[in-house]
Amino acid sequence: MVNQSSTVGFLLLGFSEHPHLEKVLFVVVLCCYLLTLLGNTLILLLATLDPRLHSPMYFFLSNLSFLDLCFTTTCVPQMLVNLWGPTKTISFLGCSVQLFIFTSLGTTECILLTVMAFDRYVAVCQPLHYVTIIHPHLCRQLAAVAWTIGLVPALCHHHPPPPVPAAGSCGMDYRSGPIHTTLMAVASVVILVVPLSLILVSYAAIARAVLRMNSAEAWKKALGTCSSHLIVVSLFYSSVIAVYLQPKNPYARERGKFFGLFYTVGTPTLNPLVYTLRNKEVKRAFWRLLGKDGDSRES
């Protein structure tokens, strides 16, 4: 705990124990943030402007892109300020608001990835009934449910800013504490384990359906349908588990900062790359947006 009488708020220690890394991390985080803004904004534009991408898959993908934009913008600008200069403080109110939004968006992403897994399950296992099951009205309802459920843990964990200490500010290393640790342990079961279990059940059913297919073309189509989402799920949950489900010791806490950095900055940057680099429809829509023939560019 560190006291500083000149500022009222939290003193975020962050990577201050490694001052030689701060400028390097600033450049890396800034580049990732700019790529996140560019990639996710591009996906939002393509999914909105291109009629061929007006399908449930890209509707959910555009929700994920919008969520990633909000998620990184909530914390990365503050992170860049802390990495670049000597000022590493955040007000009690600012910390409370940021934690509320951060928790809400993280929970929403868990639910949204589960909804996208259900969409992929219907696409592979019930292809003839896909249009009747995953209709636009249901898509909007599922998206609304994801965003609404995201508010529940944030409201439960949200509390008014703590009283201002007499000395001024409190040093905080990675925002950890007994109450926060207990809340995160409970939340990890509800927010992480339940959605992840549903995703695994969906992919178990998909794997069973794929194994029954005799056509190599059907195998390839099923893999193309699910691979991007499966990669995104793997990146998201591996980073979240590495951050929140780890031993409570100084070494694990220090390592958790770097996992937290990847969770906050890396995954929103990689998500649009995964969907664009592995998706011919998105590439074609991009060339059509530039006024060129996307089909000819792919041939």
Q: How far is CA 206 from CA 60, 83, 120, 133, in A?
A: 19, 44, 8, 17
Portion of the chain with pLDDT greater than 90, in percent = 31
pLDDT per position as a tens digit, 119-156: 999 999 998 899 999 999 999 999 999 999 888 766 66
pLDDT per position as a tens digit, 39-61: 999 999 999 998 888 999 999 99
Distance CA(198)–CA(12), nearest Å, equals: 36
The DSSP string of 201-254 is HHHHHHHHHHHT---HHHHHHHHHHHHHHHHHHHHHHHHHHHHHSS-SSHHHHH
Residue 56 is predicted with a pLDDT of: 93
Residue type, 209: A
H or E stretch covering 3 = strand 3-4
Q: 80 near 111, Cβ under 8 Å?
A: no
Its pTM stands at 0.82
Q: 294 near 285, Cβ under 8 Å?
A: yes
Q: 243 near 260, Cβ under 8 Å?
A: yes
Name 41's Cβ contacts closer than 8 Å, sequence gap at least 6. Answer: 65, 69
Average pLDDT over residues 49-77: 92
Q: Using the 8-state DSSP alphabet, how is residue 9 labeled? A: E
* Domains of the chain, start order: 3-284 (1.20.1070.10)
Q: Using the 8-state DSSP alphabet, how is residue 128 labeled? A: G
pLDDT per position as a tens digit, 210-260: 888 877 777 888 887 888 899 999 999 888 887 766 666 666 566 667 777
| Of 65-69, 196-200, 274-278, 292-296, the least confident | 292-296
